Amino acid sequence: MQNFRTLTDRFYYENELHGWIVLMMLVIRSHKYDHILAREEIHMSDTPSWGLIEFSDSPSDIECAQHLAVQGVTPDELANANQYAFSWLQATQEYEKDVQTRIAINKLLNVPQVDNTTWPDSMSYHYSTTYSRWMPPLPATPAAPS
């Protein structure tokens, strides 16, 4: 559980968490990212900014698309993150206190994706200190013939 010094710290944490939930929900619906970029005439940055993302008080899909575009994230790169976003949202909904947010996440995770396949029952990731990133577990390789 988070240990907050002030009420402002708690509000900031909850606001940022909500922003990340909205962003991950956009990653799951990566085809919507294409539409937002075109409709809102958002252009991806030629020189990506990897600065801290700070969300507004009520982050939207458009705001999240703007953050991704500033960082130079392409629609294909976003689509490649679907499984990670699924796993992240699956874990987040278990601890989310806002019922409406949990319902929205749950509805999204139970919808078949664009390629008409459903999500796997469970996906897990572990943090690899070697690569400094979250990684899916690798399948065991068969023993080499002798």
Which structural domain, as residue segments, surrounds residue 102?
7-111
How many domains are there within the chain? 1
Q: Is 50 a domain residue? A: yes
Reported in sequence order, the residue ranges of 42-131 that DSSP labels E, i.e. its strands, are 126-128
Q: Is 60 a domain residue? A: yes
Q: Is 62 a domain residue? A: yes
* pLDDT reported for residue 30: 84
Tell me the average pLDDT of the chain. 81
Q: Is 123 a domain residue? A: no
Q: What is the pLDDT of residues 76-110, one digit of tens each?
A: 888 888 888 888 898 888 888 888 888 888 888 88
Q: Is 127 a domain residue? A: no
pTM score over 0.85: no
Instruction: Provide the β-strand partners of residue 133.
Output: 128
In the predicted model, residues of the chain with pLDDT beneath 70 are 1-8, 10-11, 112-123, 138-141, 143-144, 146
Burial of 123-142, coded b for 16+ CB within 10 Å and e otherwise, reads eeeeeeeeeeeeeeeeeeee
Q: Is 145 a domain residue? A: no
Q: Is 33 a domain residue? A: yes
Distance CA(142)–CA(5), nearest Å, equals: 52
Q: Which is it for the CA torsion 136, 128, 95, 86, positive or negative?
A: negative
Q: Is 87 a domain residue? A: yes
